Structures are given as structure tokens and as C-alpha cells.
Structure 1
Amino acid sequence: MEDSIFKFEQLLNENSNYFSTIDPIILEERKPGKWSKKEVLGHLVDSAIHNLVRFTEINYLEKPYRHRPYNQIDLVNLNQYQSKEINELNQLWLSLNKQIIRIMKSVDEKALDYKIILSDESVIDLKFLITDYVEHLEHHINQIRS
């Protein structure tokens, strides 16, 4: 778990100032059927919001915890990330993820085994959800940086 948290902190430290240095034309460019780099960052904000709730709720709600999916495309569109100022979007992304790191660092070792039921009824645990979140974040940061 410490490796995932360390990697997560590195991703934040390496990228927290980077996004606002990208040329706005490149940030907002869309290819057919794809999000712009700015919208990908907005998707990471939505992901952070939902996972912050998950990482928090699992500690006090009935177990096994039921994972609630969200409509990623609708959220990116409804939140209008394409027209949001990049520094504001970046700050939102950074603040949410700093809070997630605080929660991850305080997770009790036993809680890592808490069971989570996904919408398809498959079962994972909190440790997997945390690791998967960091990998998801890294994947999309790489998309933005490419």
C-alpha cells in the first residue's frame, strides 16, 4: 500500500504545476469521439470526487460496501470542463487528490480487506480499489502529457 501512496504523491508532485503550462490550444483540442486534454483532467476531477466518497464511506457504511458507478461522459459534459479555466480546474484536481492521500494514509490495515461489491456483482477489496485508482490516475495523466 505504501508503494501506491508513494506513486500517487509523485504523480501529484510531478504534475500539479504542469497542466497549466500546456498551450490552451493543445489543452482544448478535440479529436472525433475523444475528450480534449482539459476534459480528461475534468474526468480525473470527477473520478476524485467519487473515489473520495468511496474511500470515506467504506469506513462507516454497512459491509460489504456497494460500489456505485457514475456516468463519466455525462459528468464531463455537465461540468463543462472544456470551458473551465485551467488553473481553477488544476487546483480542484489537486485539492481533491490531496484529501484522498490523507485518507489513504490513515486507512487501518484491516480496512484494506473490506469487501466491495461492484455493479456486475463481482467482489474486490479496498486495497484493490486504492491501487486501481492510482493506476487510473497515471493512465490519464499519461494521456494528457502525450
Structure 2
Amino acid sequence: MQNAILKFERLLNENVNYFPTISHEVLEERKPGKWSKKEILGHLTDSAIHNLVRFTEINYIAKPYHHRPYNQIDLVNLNQYQTMDIDQLTQLWFVLNNQIIRIMKSVKDEALDYKIVLSDGAEIDLKFLMTDYVEHLEHHINQIKS
């Protein structure tokens, strides 16, 4: 878990000041059927909101925890990330993820084994969900930086 947390902190700290330096044209360019780089950052913000709730709720809701999916496309559109100021969007993304790091650092070892039931009935545990979140974040950061 410690390696995932260190990677997570590195990803945040390397990119919080970088994203606002990308030109508006590059940030807002859309390719057919794809999100712009700004919308990808918005998606990462939505993901942070939902995972912050998940990582928190699992500690006090009856087990096993039932993972609730969310409509990623609708959220990106409804939150209008394409027209949001990049400095505000970056700060929102950064602050939410810093709170997730606080939770990850304080989670008890036994909580990492809490079972999570996915919408298809498959089971994972909190440790997998947390480490997968960091991998998801890195994947989309690489898309923004490409």
C-alpha cells in the first residue's frame, strides 16, 4: 500500500502545476468520440469524488460493501468541465485527491481486506480498489500529457 501512496503523491505533485501550463487550445481540443484533455481531468475529478465516498463509506457501512457505478459521460457533460477555468479545475482535482491520500494513509490494515461487491457480482477488496484508483489516475494523466 505504501508504494501506491508514494506513487499517488508523486503523480499529484508532478502535475498540479503542470496542467495549468498547457495551452487552452491543447486542453480543449476534442477528437471525434473522445474527451478533451480538460474533460479527462474533469473525469478524474468525478472519479476522486466517487472514490473518496467509497473509501470513506466502507469503514462504517455494513459489509460487504456494494460498489455503485456512476455515469462518467453524463457527469463530465453536466459538470461542464470543458468550460471550467483550468486553475479552478486543477485545484479541485488536487484537493480531492489529497483528501484521498489522507484516507489511504490512515486506513487500518484489516480494512484493506474489506470485501467489495461489484455491480456484476464479482468481489474485490479495498486494497485492490485503492491501488487500482492510483493506476487509473496514472493512465489518464498520461493521456493528458500525451
Q: TM-score, normalised by structure 1?
A: 1.00
Per the alignment, residue 104 of structure 2 pairs with 104
The CA deviation at 1:26 is 0.2
Matched positions, count: 146
**CA separation in 1, counterparts of 2:59 and 2:41?**
28
Amino acid at match of 2:8: F
The CA deviation at 1:76 is 0.2
The CA deviation at 1:16 is 0.7
User: Structure 1 stretches (4+) deviating beyond 6 angstroms?
Assistant: none
The CA deviation at 1:138 is 0.1
| Unmatched tracts of structure 2, length 5 or more | none
| 1:49-104 Cα distance to aligned partner (Å, 9 max, x none) | 00000000000000000000000000000000000000000000000000000000
Per the alignment, residue 91 of structure 1 pairs with 91
Q: CA RMSD in A?
A: 0.2
Per the alignment, residue 4 of structure 1 pairs with 4
Per the alignment, residue 45 of structure 1 pairs with 45
The CA deviation at 1:117 is 0.1
Q: TM-score, normalised by structure 2?
A: 1.00
The CA deviation at 1:144 is 0.1
**CA separation in 1, counterparts of 2:94 and 2:43?**
13
Question: Where do 1:18-57 residues align within 5 Å?
Answer: 18-57=18-57
